[in-house]
Amino acid sequence: MFLKVLCVLNLFVWVNCCKSFGDVNVQIRQNSGTSIFNRTIKGCVSRKTFTEDNHVSHVWIVDQPVQRLLVGAVENTPHLSYVEFSKCKIESIQPRAFRNVPILETIHVEYGLLQEIKRDVFNIPLLRELSLAHNQISKIEARALAITELKKLYLSNNKLTKWYPEWFASIQAAQINTDAFNQLSSKPQTKSNETNKLEKIDIKNNLLTTLPLDAFQGLPNLKILFLNSNLISNIEPGTFFGTKLHSLGLANNRLKFVDPKWFPKPFHLTHLSLNANKFNFIPLELFDRVAPQTIAFDGNPMSCGCWKKIVMAIHNTTYQIETTDGCHLPNVPFCVGTESDICEEVIDDNVSRAFYEGVMGALRNSNKTVKKECYTFM
């Protein structure tokens, strides 16, 4: 009975009580070679699990019945630097699931059923890359991603509806209260975490609708940010201040305008992707302020005349335009309407929708052809 209590509470003594999974097939690699070996293990990933392979550096667990990662699911592995759980349908990860893993640098838990990221799950000294892509995550506790050495974070293909800087920043309150849809019921005071080393965040294919002014507060080293394929319709001025962004992806969202004041001046982007949004003009001030080496903005409901005007303005600079050959793609119209030199600042959703549906209808009917007035501007 006494040992059972210790196992449940995990207090005071080391007891081998790990029961995260039954018999599962794993692949391992030792740090002294490149060969990959297959093993069947039970309970957890630990030094005792691989008694004959004391220097395991990489572990892959793919398409195995692992529903939960309990306390100590990966523990006491002094040589482990990489662990991956893929297609295992993991529903939850408990705090301290990863413990005594002094050189663990990369964790991938992908293609699962995770709904929440709890605080202290990934509090690992040398963790530099974390991927939780292709799950069902809609809630992240405060400080859950305040990981000292983390440089790359992948959260694509989840169900996050709102961005909170408290995920990353040091906070005075212990925790944020959230509901099932990741909406704040109370917001504590925050302060910048100037030691954060995050350089890349990929949060494509979620349900984000807005980026608040303090979204990236405390992420001074952020260089790559992918927000493509969300539902973003609003970005507050000043949102990207304080970052070192080189590449910014905002394609396939619902932005109705581009505000140069999102960025400080000057701000030098290597690449800016604005494809397939809902704006029909780009203020030329954007190029004075941001100076992107390459920019992509096709697939927006712009008149061909407006598109041509912007292209000619960019042609006189060192910038380059990327296109997706939009006149050939039915889901990304290249430009809309008749020839006009006026760049309207008001979008008519009905007109844009009618044009798009007309393109689709023409492509579906083999007896019709799509007008190719856009090709000369590509």
Q: Which two tokens stand for residue 191?
A: 């302060």
Interatomic CA distance for residues 75 and 19, integer angstroms: 12
pLDDT tens by residue, the chain, 378 residues = 444 444 444 433 344 456 778 889 999 988 767 788 898 988 889 888 876 666 899 999 999 999 999 999 999 999 999 999 999 999 999 999 999 999 999 999 999 999 999 999 999 999 999 999 999 999 999 999 999 999 999 999 999 999 999 999 754 322 333 332 333 322 333 444 446 899 999 999 999 999 999 999 889 999 999 999 999 999 999 999 999 999 999 999 999 989 999 999 888 899 999 988 888 888 888 888 888 889 988 888 777 777 778 888 787 777 788 865 544 445 555 666 555 556 665 666 666 666 666 656 665 664 544 444 333 322
Interatomic CA distance for residues 79 and 58, integer angstroms: 9
Residue that the structure tokens 């993991």 belong to: 90
Q: How many CA atoms lie within 13 A of 230 on its CB side?
A: 29
Interatomic CA distance for residues 336 and 338, integer angstroms: 7
Strand 152-154 vs strand 74-75: parallel, antiparallel, or unpaired? Answer: unpaired
Interatomic CA distance for residues 80 and 263, integer angstroms: 41
Residue 84 phi, psi dihedral angles, 5° rounding: -135, 130
Interatomic CA distance for residues 230 and 210, integer angstroms: 9
Q: Which has the closest alpha carbon to 243: 272, 273, 264?
A: 264
> Do 354 and 326 form a contact (C-beta atoms < 8 A)?
no
Residue that the structure tokens 């203020």 belong to: 283
How high is the pLDDT of residue 230?
Answer: 96
How high is the pLDDT of residue 344?
Answer: 62
pTM of the model: 0.81
* Segment (H or E) for 73: none
Residue that the structure tokens 């019945």 belong to: 65
How high is the pLDDT of residue 359?
Answer: 59
* Segment (H or E) for 359: helix 349-364
DSSP 93: E
Q: Which two tokens stand for residue 44?
A: 């957890």
Interatomic CA distance for residues 83 and 57, integer angstroms: 8
